[in-house]
Structure 1
Amino acid sequence: MKMKTNMNKASRKRSRKEAKASSSTSTSGAADLSRSRSRSPSPSPSPSPVVPSPAPADDLQSSRHKRNRRKKSQRHREPSPSPSPSSPLRTRAAELHSANGGTADVPPSSEPVDAVKVVPSMDAVVKVFCTHTEPNFSLPWQRKRQYSSSSSGFIISGRRVLTNAHSVEHFTQVKLKKRGSDTKYLATVLAIGTECDIALLTVSDDEFWQDVSPVHFGSLPALQDAVTVVGYPIGGDTISVTSGVVSRIEILSYVHGSTELLGLQIDAAINSGNSGGPAFNDKGKCVGIAFQSLKHEDVENIGYVIPTPVITHFITDYEKSGQYTGFPILGVEWQKMENPDLRKAIGMKPDQKGVRVRRVEPTAPESGCLHPSDIILSFDGVDIANDGTVPFRHGERIGFSYLVSQKYTGQKAVVKVLRDSKVLEFSIKLATHKRLIPAHIKGRPPSYYIVAGFVFTAVSVPYLRSEYGKDYEYDAPVKLLDKHLHAMAQSEDEQLVVVSQVLVADINIGYEDIVNTQVISFNGKPVKNLKSLVQMVEECNEEFLKFDLEYQQIVVLETKSAKAATQDILTTHCIPSAMSDDLKT
């Protein structure tokens, strides 16, 4: 009886050990499965998360402790087989070496080591090193001190790399480094899309492209879909992973390009250095590019991603023409028609919906057919609602500018309008936006002209930002802001010309305080742009140079004295030329 009891105890003890070993073996797989299910609202039969989430430290220690106990019991029975090259039980160093394109002979290990999951898409994520030399808008004849930055990018098909436009803005040198590599490769910038904040790069060195698979794009994700942002943010040198879900899909303001395009809002942190990194879905497909975040005391972990429709538009645009041509717009300002009395007064039928045209850009192709007070009913066959939205996906609506942004520069679209109770259709050739105060200068140095110490230049958003800081929309002069927000260019080459500053000299006594003031006319002739001003001043044979400025200010200088003093002023301030190179031709 006693022997039987002891045998039962031994049997139960052995059963507990086997059950415990079995539980330890399945822990990792179950954890991975539950983690991948938590990332996706609709789990697939065989989930494949982009990046395995790290287990807590105590779980890892517990798992290792269980494996060590199991290995000790196995040693009494039979020796562990050496891992084969195809076995998942490889050393971490060998796996990382293989990920970088190398080959390694792995010596047999006496003890199996935890397998490390390496997602192929992560190997295509690169670190971007850029040296920038920005223009000096206050002293446009020179540039600012150079500085360096780092960001992220990723390899796509055709031996190309995508990153953000602001990551390589005003670049003088760009270098790329692959994951796990110690080599930086010189890169060539193929195209910069400032509006969509995307840049396309390539590398001429064949070694850079060895043993790396390009990233493949996925479709536009749905709300609550899991996303994983991969990149090289501040805080370390190695690759970083942050996970979240898609929380919003709408037309967003692209800060760098001062435009509005489709964008994704996610609840994953996007920090400095993450810019240009890919956002993967749970199938390892890229669904966007990280590009900006919302920083406010009332919010946290709100990041924004450029979605695949915008990315593919940029790439296709470049492939079609060999250069980036931009996103077209419908050159009108419009008003919602949600008020029933307004619709009735204009003559809209109960089943008619649309938006009212307030103004038409004089430089836009639409100016030839669209008029103020027209009601735009549809764009390319898609009906527009009274609030300016169109159907997007099931249960979702989006601004009708999305339809326009899906077109390419030069393509035609059919616009249906209501005018004087009649429905009319027009075929419009779409073009990019021409602003009186451009949102960017596309890498060109600023134009300038100097006469008698007066520094003339053309106003742009980068100029306003340089003069008044990031809050220029609050600190800049009211008249400049009004023109920035509401003025329309009357011709393709029209510019807003200002006296940026006055370099003090005897010739300009009494004018020293004139700063950032618009030039209206010269000797009674309107100033259309900076080049026309240069031509009029250089060819002037009258006794005086008379500049009419805003606020009814005038500047009068003797022509011969002013031109003679210019060279001395240039020498004093070490200025190489009285005008920028683009004004010399």
Structure 2
Amino acid sequence: MMRRVKNVGIKRVASLLLCGLLLSGLGGQLGSAAGMASAQAPEPQIIKEVSPSVVGIIGKSSGQGNGGPDDRYNLAHGSGIIVRSDGWIVTNAHVIKDLENVVVVTSDTRKYSITDTYLDEFSDVALIKINAKSLKPAKFAQSAKAVVGEKVIAIGTPVSFSLRNSATVGVISGLGRGGMDAAYRLIQSDTAINPGNSGGPLLNMKGEVLGMNSLKYSAVEIENMGFAIPAETVQYIMKQLFKYGEVKRPSLGLELTESWSAIVGLPTEDPLTVKKVVSAEARKAGINEGDVLYSIDGHPAASLVDINELFKSYTPGTTVRLLMQSDGDIVARQLVLGKGDPLLGGEELTANEMGQTGK
């Protein structure tokens, strides 16, 4: 029987159980065979060049253990990617959440404590800061140019913290994957990953980060089905965290449910159904429970992930046009977006915030 495991990329030293981990694969677009040969470097060279941009993260989960003499070995760990030379590192939110006495170890075995932490659990992305200088930031690619079958490399800290900066090689198995208990679309690869790889990079053959390893399927009859958060999503979250210290997402002020086809993964254009009207703006727009949503500003909305992806280019306070069905009639609704998780109601905007958005 297949079992899906999420947010277990943090290695539990005491148990050594290879539960589902997080990972993924992405890649850069392939050209002709001749072009590939000239643009790509051999795997050993890529690993040597990128490994200094990958760190190991280890600590003790709050509340973990019973305080006994062996409690110091009851640890959890993951991986991270250096994004700025002055000590900023991106990792998975589930890697760092509730972790105490955290130590970050660079590829040259230097140890650091964390001085700042910003979490976004909705996307499972986090930023941490260490007091370091002259670090080597990783380079990010456009994962939208990746192709299925493209070779990729994962670097991380699998199973044991002593195995930091381990590298494995695979190919991209699929793109734009939804329905993985993730807010945004993911990239699938068959690269071998294990608990502790979470937060580490998946690289194309130019040594660029195509995604951040985040989750996988794990069961006796399942092999090499890992998933990564695409580079564009990671960069979107990082930009928001650097600028605001949080992600200012727009919200419809609605709770929506997907069609049966969308839930099971069938190709579908079936609309979303309004389960609950949460915000005053949504009620003001005339939206009611049981209405169905076809599109937002002309963009089809057949799944919750579709809306999350679309809203990466929107801000709270923006007015959007919704094509809906209400009481059997097709209608257009004008709605001012609130802020918060896109599909969990969100918060109302103040008059001052409305003015700041120019709406």
Q: Same fold (TM over 0.5)?
A: yes
Structure 1 residue aligned with 2:168, among 242, 246, 262? 242
2:157 paired with 1:267: no
> What is the 5 A alignment of 1:13-412?
42-43=32-33, 44-49=36-41, 51-52=43-44, 119-134=48-63, 147-157=74-84, 159=86, 160-181=88-109, 183-204=110-131, 208-210=132-134, 212-220=135-143, 221-235=146-160, 236-248=162-174, 249-254=176-181, 259-325=182-248, 328=251, 331-334=254-257, 336=259, 355=271, 357-363=273-279, 365-369=281-285, 370-384=287-301, 388=302, 399-404=306-311, 406-412=313-319
Residue type matched to 1:209 in 2?
A: K
**Residues 158/294 of structure 1: CA separation in 2 closer, same or farther (3 Å cut):** same
AA aligned to 1:152 is S
Q: Which amino acid aligns with 1:47?
A: A
Query: Match of 1:195, SS?
Result: coil
1:130–1:148 contact (8 Å) kept in structure 2: yes
Distance 1:278 1:168 in 2: 16
Change (3 A) 1:118 1:263: closer
Amino acid at match of 1:286: V
Counting only pairs closer than 5 Å after superposition, residues 562-573 of structure 1 correspond to structure 2 as none
Secondary structure at the aligned position of 1:173 is classed as: strand
Cα 1:42/1:202, change in 2 over 3 Å:
farther
Q: Distance in 1 between matches of 2:115 and 2:179?
A: 29
The one-letter amino acid paired with 2:59 is C
Instruction: Give the deviation of 1:372 after TM superposition.
Output: 3.1
- Offset at 1:333? 2.2
Q: Partners of 1:323 and 1:298 in 2: how far apart?
A: 40
How far has the Cα of 1:184 moved from its partner? 0.7
Task: Output the aligned Cα RMSD.
Answer: 3.5
Alignment CA distance shift 1:175-1:403 (3 Å): same
Say if 1:117 and 1:271 are closer, same or farther in 2 by CA, change over 3 A.
closer
Corresponding residue SS for 2:309? helix
Contact kept? 1:412, 1:430, Cα under 8 Å: no
Question: Do 2:203 and 2:209's aligned partners in 1 also have CA atoms closer than 8 Å?
Answer: yes
- Give the unaligned 5+ runs of structure 2: 1-28, 66-70, 262-268, 349-359
Q: Is the 8 A contact 1:130 1:173 kept in 2?
A: yes
Query: What percentage of residue pairs aligned between the two structures are identical?
Result: 20
Q: Are the equivalent residues in 2 in contact too, given 1:413–1:430 (CA < 8 A)?
A: no
Query: Partner of 2:241: helix, strand, or coil?
Result: helix
Shift of 1:164: 1.4
Structure with higher helix content: 1
- Greater shift, 273-282 or 400-409, is seen at 400-409
Residue 155 of structure 1: CA displacement? 0.6
SS of 2:116 mapped into structure 1? strand
Distance 1:383 1:434, change over 3 A: closer
Matches of 1:410 and 1:157 in 2, distance apart?
31
Q: Which residue of 2 aligns with 1:99?
A: none
Return the alpha-carbon distance in structure 2 between the equivalents of residues 306 and 332 of structure 1.
24
String of CA shifts for 1:89-138, please: whole Å, max 9, x gaps. xxxxxxxxxxxxxxxxxxxxxxxxxxx776422211111122321389xx
Structure 1 or 2: more strand by fraction: 2
The gaps in structure 1 that reach 5 residues or longer are: 1-38, 53-115, 137-144, 339-352, 391-397, 436-487, 493-585
- Distance in 2 (CA, whole Å) between partners of 1:364 and 1:265 is 39
Q: For 1:174, give the aligned amino acid.
A: V
Q: Is the 8 A contact 2:178 2:186 kept in 1?
A: yes
User: Which of residues 306, 329, 332 in structure 2 aligns to 1:421?
Assistant: 329
Does the 8 Å contact 2:155/2:197 carry over to 1? yes
Q: Mean Cα displacement is larger for which, 244-253 or 223-232? A: 244-253
Structure of higher CA gyration radius? 1
- Structure-2 separation of matches of 1:431 and 1:252: 24
Q: Answer with 399-408 or 166-175: which moved more.
A: 399-408
Q: In structure 1, what is the equivalent of residue 25 of structure 2? A: none
How far apart, CA to CA, are the structure 2 residues paired with 1:238 and 1:433?
A: 35
1:125 touches 1:178 (CA, 8 Å); kept in 2? yes
Q: Deviations over 1:518-545 (max 9, x none)?
A: xxxxxxxxxxxxxxxxxxxxxxxxxxxx
Residue 200 to residue 216, structure 1, CA distance change in 2 (3 Å): same
Go from structure 1 to structure 2 and tell me whether the alpha carbon gap of 1:427 and 1:117 turns closer, same or farther (over 3 Å shift).
closer
Mapped partners of 1:406, 1:152: distance in 2 = 29
Distance in 1 (CA, whole Å) between partners of 2:91 and 2:164 is 18
- TM superposition score normalised by structure 1: 0.45
